Chain A
Amino acid sequence: MQRQVALIKQSLFDQGYLDEQFMELEELQDDANPNFVEEVSALYFKDSARLINNIDQALERGSFDFNRLDSYMHQFKGSSTSIGASKVKAECTTFREYCRAGNAEGCLRTFQQLKKEHSMLRKKLEQYFQLARQAGPKETARRPK
């Protein structure tokens, strides 16, 4: 089972969902904080859901306040970077570029993509954590030894 967990994790990395930063977070996990990574992920998804909501509303309004959108996205990018969500981060960067270019269409498109990546990552991580918990709290959460 642990191997399974490890495999899933590896695939996440391979597919580019996660990057080294995620590994850094895992390093921070220890006996005293066995679920650190999961906690951080949960926090991230909660916060990013809020941000996505804000951006959604802003886009729906149709006003396209690029500055504000850019600032939202900056925040989003910051958290995504901290957790190592590389695909999401890439979409954020693209979105910001469109913002700077004033390309509303591009923003909308990118945002859809971003939301997709975001929910995909969320699913995968949830799956991963669940499996990890089943396999055994600490070991699975760490890199395969």
Chain B
Amino acid sequence: MINPGHGRGPDSGTAGGGSNSDPFPANLRVLVVDDDPTCLMILERMLMTCLYRVTKCNRAEIALSLLRKNKNGFDIVISDVHMPDMDGFKLLEHVGLEMDLPVIMMSADDSKSVVLKGVTHGAVDYLIKPVRIEALKNIWQHVVRRKRNEWNVSEHSGGSIEDTGGDRDRQQQQREDADNNSSSVNEGNWRNSRKRKEEEVDDQGDDKEDTSSLKKPRVVWSVELHQQFVAAVNQLGVDKAVPKKILEMMNVPGLTRENVASHLQKYRIYLRRLGGVSQHQGNMNHSFMTGQDQSFGPLSSLNGFDLQDLAFAGQLPAQSLAQFQAAGLGRPTLTKPGMSVSPLVDQRTIFNFENPKIRFGDGHGPTMNNGNKQMNLLNGVPTGMEPKQFAGSHMRVQQQITGVRPGQNVQSSGMMLPVADQLPRGGPSMLPSLGQQPILSSSVSRRSDLTGAVAVRNSIPETNNRVLPTTHSVFNNFPSDLPRNRFPLASAPGISVPVSASYQEEVNSSDARGGSSAATVATAGFGNPSYDIFNDFPPHQQHNNNISNKLNDWDLRNMGLVFSSNQDAAAATAAFSSSSSTQRKRRETDATVVAEHGQNIQPPSRNLNHLNHVYMDGGSVRVKSERVAETVTCPPANTLFQEQYNQEDLMSAFLKQEGIPSVDNEFDFDGYSIDNIPV
């Protein structure tokens, strides 16, 4: 995409004011989404004048499917805020979660609240209409920035990267460019981030920062990675955690300090959001978790925050929250009763994969349960996620999982979002998170890019892994009563509320009742930017009570999925139910899971949309889930999950889910292929 060798200035029309001799920005592949044909035409013309490669789109759904089909086909997305078929912010979330691309919002509306919404949802910039060409000239900075982050994470190998002056130059250029971007509201942010980047660069001396090699592999914050991250953060203390130390503790080859730093930032934001979100929900998680480990106490609170932070990404509320919750749970002090919830959430979302295992892990053993306390959280949570949900909610789930992790510092709440992506990977891994951190890694990597809302997801997975061992107790609690189930969803007070709520419900169901309720909550709430899911949680509980814990895990996952797609709690429950039952199978493959369980939980719509469909197609799903729950019966479910929930399996399951055609195109996550996520 970016063709450094272009040999020409990026803007042919410019008198050279903003154009550098650096040909880099040219050929940037931009996707413009706006329902107004006039604007679309004008923007296209302007972007072409900037020598960008433009693709127009007048409907958000089409844009999403385009993005999904060509995962690496675009570098940046520009979207209008007010669109008839889908809210621009929703699209923003999806893109951030699934593709981790920078998204610029634009609108004729320049009211502060809307602009702020753009920021909180993770937009990299906000342009006021009428958009001037000068503003568009500099959008490449966002692409570069993101790539740098990704690059840092993936390239890091002990900080052996040499310092390059080119990097600095670029930074300076970008600074200047930012200045020119008068219609951007992110100038300040840009500078700050630039500064940070520069610092990071100074530390790391990333020699790959030059513009010509922007195409660096992204660091995917898988569930495991995120769990690791969260665990590290928890150990250090959220407030005291510094990227360097976290990096050391995580000890992940290829991970750079910058990756961690950006992920940490996202996580912190997530936590903050969680804090703002209903804490009570986190309590739900807490209770869940409490059994696990004292340490979860604080985690739960953290989770709540975490999840929220995760949710901050945007709509990931439920899932992310769950994840964060899970992550938060990872914290040693789970004293809070509600902790369980959060861990679950965290775990759930991101680690849904993991969690399911964990949850069911009651029988599993330490790992499953949360082998790490944190894990449990997720275990419970994700289990609720039905495969279907999972698919759709991959992202979410992941987040949830991460959130769920009780002990995990789900700081990566932001990770939650990415969870979806990660889920596939992280999912399965999440479960095993008890022992494995594969999911985390996926989530973790996602985290790095959490710039968008999504990043959340991955962070959690990591924590989950770690958490698992410690969080066994967490799960332990679950078995009896689904704390797990509740866990993920509930835990994510903020974000995962929806997720956790449902998840928990689901979890509960799986455990006791089937966290389907939680799951549903999660699902329902997922899409809610406002963490309503948690609120929804209670009502949903009924849904999936039957769902075994296993479901919970799935639920979490599904929840995550659900969340994003629909705030339909019912769907969530449905998703969870199906997920729970299918979770087991899910781990292996989404499709198979579903089939095996016979629940048919409708193929976990990977997309959240699917979840909706899954659910529902009307509610039928819900029924299924419940039915499934019954069939699943906790004990067997648990066992099933235990076996099946390998994180990897989960991940694959999720991934597979991705492959499942979305019934509902609300979110159209079809395109969301986990393939891209390096597991």
Contacts and interface: CB of A to CB of B under 8 A. Distances in A.
Interface of A: 21, 24-25, 27-28, 30, 33, 36, 39-40, 43-44, 47-48, 71, 74-75, 77-79, 81-84
A18 B30 CA distance: 29
Closest 10 CB pairs of A and B: A79-B38, A78-B108, A44-B38, A21-B130, A82-B39, A28-B45, A81-B130, A82-B130, A79-B36, A78-B36
Contacts, number: 61
DSSP class of A's interface residues: helix, strand, loop or mixed? Answer: helix
A25 B42 contact: yes
B135 to A, nearest CB: 11
B467 interface: no
A79 B45 contact: no
19 contacts: A27-B133, A28-B42, A28-B45, A28-B49, A36-B45, A40-B42, A43-B38, A47-B38, A71-B82, A74-B82, A78-B36, A78-B80, A79-B37, A79-B38, A79-B39, A81-B108, A81-B129, A81-B130, A82-B38
A39 B37 CA distance: 11
A24 B134 CA distance: 10
Contact of A83 (B13, B38, B46, B80): B38
A48 B38 CA distance: 9
Contacts of B108: 74, 77-78, 81
A78 B132 CA distance: 14
B62 interface: no
A91 B13 CA distance: 34
Given A24-B130, A28-B45, A43-B38, 7 more contacts: A25-B42, A40-B38, A40-B45, A77-B108, A78-B129, A79-B38, A82-B39
B109 interface: yes
B464 to A, nearest CB: 42
Contact of B41 (A24, A43, A74, A84): A43
A28 B133 contact: yes
A87 B108 CA distance: 16
B39 A78 contact: yes
A53 to B, nearest CB: 15
B203 interface: no
B617 interface: no
A24 B129 contact: no
Contacts of B45: 28, 33, 36, 40
Contacts of A82: 36, 38-39, 42, 129-131
B35 A27 contact: no
Interface string B11-43: 001000000000000000000000111110110
A84 to B, nearest CB: 7
A21 B135 CA distance: 14
Nearest to B134: A24
A28 B46 contact: yes
A17 to B, nearest CB: 15
A39 B46 CA distance: 14
A40 B41 CA distance: 7
B36 A47 contact: yes
Interface in B515-560: none
Contacts of B107: 78
